[in-house]
Amino acid sequence: MILKKRNGGTLQKEEIDFLVSGFMDNSIPDYQISALLMAICLKGLDRKETADLTMSIVNSGDIIDLSEIPGVKVDKHSTGGVGDKISLIVIPLVASLGIPVAKISGRGLGHTGGTIDKLESIEGFKAKLNRKEFISNVKKCGMAITGQSEDIAPADRKLYALRDVTATIDSIPLISSSIMSKKIASGAEGIVLDIKVGTGAFMKSLSDALELARVMINIGKELNKKIVAVITDMNQPLGHEIGNANEVKEAVKVLSGEGPEDVTAIALTIASYMAILGGASNNFKNAYKILKDTISSGIALNKFKELIIMQNGNPSFIDNFSLLPQAKYHIDIKSNFKGFVEKIDAEKIGIAAMMLGAGRKKKDDLIDYAAGITIAKKVGDEININETLCTLHTNKSNYNESAKLVLDSYTFKNEPCNKNKYIYDIIQ
């Protein structure tokens, strides 16, 4: 089978099932799977092979059965970025339309944040629900969010660990099957993918992001799932807040109608396609308007409060942000240039936030919920010498390396420049 793929042949479903099950029961050693992964990186997988690999990974563990929940169950997935708090916003937005949202999310690693970490910055919030609690909450309130169970797509974790040490991470069929296996095992019928592209994203080029979108939509077609992909910008951090408590605060601002334009536009776009997949609207313009109205009426924010209370959190912070974790040090990073912000390297900002305590280098690292960065100046903004570019928040007394990295992430020019696009494309 390794030889067959190395020579550009096509693997049959039975062969893929044999390889995945053999890897899981250790009857096929790591070195042979490593060789196969490299062959896939070099020769690729066709549409059916990618779908078959996805289902083999799904079948390596539990599949959540959401059939007892009425309605079309929808979900969304982000490929990861800096300042990405979109899930916190779209869950209550979509649930407020009566569409069930059963969301399984991950933790942050490296320069990208995790939704579960953000929610755990809220006092008392219970982010790990058992299967019964998860389904009960969705039936009762139309929404629930929980961390990923060890029983969901275990082959993905084992394959990813091997890919990580064998230079086989950046294969679009392997990335696609990894993402889609977890979403399909989670039981959703309609999925909106937020595919980030740019310096702070896994996909650095628009062409790669579009290819990833097409491959994942093809997997959906093969497996009878409705998929929409929204290609969004990650050439600078999303919004103004990076870090766990910081991003919860900004999500509340968006749900209150006072959030940044980029976060609001992307959240409403993703929520609109979730609403269409869930049957609440038959066109984007109508869905967008309905969702905007749920924000202006206060319904969406009340739904977010309901989510927090339902999962044992204290919602008092919504009216008093000082109840969220607070950092000891707040350091303003000043500009040494007069002109305009041309670029911000989102990855450098994400790494700086991680070094301040907001993220993890390794899975078992502890994070500081109060740590993060507030961006004052974004691409296209005018800047004067000694004006604040951003503010670092940390409980660490040694923040010099982070401060230097943040300053290095900014590029300036003398002439006015265009702001970044928020959304590059929608693939259906």
Residue 330 annotated as catalytic: no
Domain final residue, candidates 271, 295, 318: 318
31-43 residue pLDDT tens:
999 999 999 999 9
Q: What is the pLDDT of residue 107?
A: 77
Q: pLDDT band for position 159 (50/70/90)?
A: very high
85 vs 81: CA distance, rounded Å: 9
Write down the mean pLDDT value for the chain: 94
Residue 214 contacts residue 203 (beta carbons within 8 Å): no
Domain final residue, candidates 318, 338, 368: 318
Examine residue 419 and state whether it is found in any structural domain, yes or no: no
Sheet containing strand 372-375, edge to edge, reads: 241-242, 372-375, 388-394, 329-334
175-211 residue pLDDT tens:
999 999 988 998 889 999 999 999 999 899 999 999 9
Examine residue 358 and state whether it is found in any structural domain, yes or no: yes
Q: Which of 45, 55, 34 is nearest to 159 (CA)?
A: 34
Q: What is the pLDDT of residue 109?
A: 67
Residue 393 annotated as catalytic: no
Which of 77, 103, 303, 378 is catalytic? The answer is: 77
> Residue 380 pLDDT more than 90?
yes
> Which domain CATH number covers 232?
3.40.1030.10
**Structural domain count, the chain:** 3
Residue 116 contacts residue 147 (beta carbons within 8 Å): yes
Residues 178 and 143 in one domain: yes
Alpha-carbon dihedral angle through residues 194, 58, 130, 162, given to the nearest 10 degrees: -80
Examine residue 378 and state whether it is found in any structural domain, yes or no: yes
Residues 358 and 241 in one domain: no
Residue 163 annotated as catalytic: yes
> Which domain CATH number covers 26?
1.20.970.10
Examine residue 428 and state whether it is found in any structural domain, yes or no: no
321-379 residue pLDDT tens:
999 999 999 999 999 999 999 999 999 999 999 999 998 877 778 899 999 999 999 99
Residues 269 and 285 in one domain: yes
Task: Out of 138-147, 171-180, 383-392, give the one with best mean pLDDT.
Answer: 383-392
Residues 271 and 301 in one domain: yes
Q: What is the pLDDT of residue 51?
A: 95
Percentage, residues of the chain above pLDDT 70:
100
Backbone angles phi, psi at 226, to 5 degrees: -90, 125
Residue 378 contacts residue 412 (beta carbons within 8 Å): no
Residue 169 contacts residue 203 (beta carbons within 8 Å): no
Residue 214 annotated as catalytic: no
Which of 73, 182, 249, 348 is catalytic? The answer is: 182
251-287 residue pLDDT tens:
999 999 999 999 999 999 999 999 999 999 999 999 9
Examine residue 294 and state whether it is found in any structural domain, yes or no: yes
Residues 40 and 145 in one domain: no
Task: Please tell me the total number of residues recorded for the chain in this structure.
Answer: 428
> Residue 153 pLDDT more than 80?
yes
> Which domain CATH number covers 377?
3.90.1170.30
Contacts of 293 (CB under 8 A, 6+ apart): none
Residues 6 and 98 in one domain: no
Half-sphere exposure of 157 (CA within 13 A, CB side): 11
Q: Which of 382, 375, 141 is nearest to 263 (CA)?
A: 375
Domain holding 97, by residue range, is 74-318
Examine residue 333 and state whether it is found in any structural domain, yes or no: yes
Is the backbone of residue 112 left (phi > 0), alpha (psi -120 to 50) or beta?
Answer: beta
> Residue 394 pLDDT more than 80?
yes
Which of 84, 156, 233, 368 is catalytic? The answer is: 156
- pTM, entire model: 0.93
Examine residue 280 and state whether it is found in any structural domain, yes or no: yes
Residues 106 and 251 in one domain: yes
Which of 78, 149, 178, 181 is catalytic? The answer is: 178
Backbone angles phi, psi at 265, to 5 degrees: -65, -45
Residues 87 and 210 in one domain: yes
Both tokens of 241, joined, read 């807040």
Residue 285 annotated as catalytic: no
Residue that the structure tokens 């299967």 belong to: 131
Residues 264 and 368 in one domain: no
Q: pLDDT band for position 110 (50/70/90)?
A: low
Contacts of 275 (CB under 8 A, 6+ apart): 94, 97, 99, 281, 287, 290, 291
Domain final residue, candidates 318, 343, 363: 318
Q: What is the pLDDT of residue 276?
A: 97
Residues 197 and 276 in one domain: yes
Examine residue 400 and state whether it is found in any structural domain, yes or no: yes
Residues 203 and 295 in one domain: yes
Residues 397 and 337 in one domain: yes
Which of 163, 226, 253, 348 is catalytic? The answer is: 163
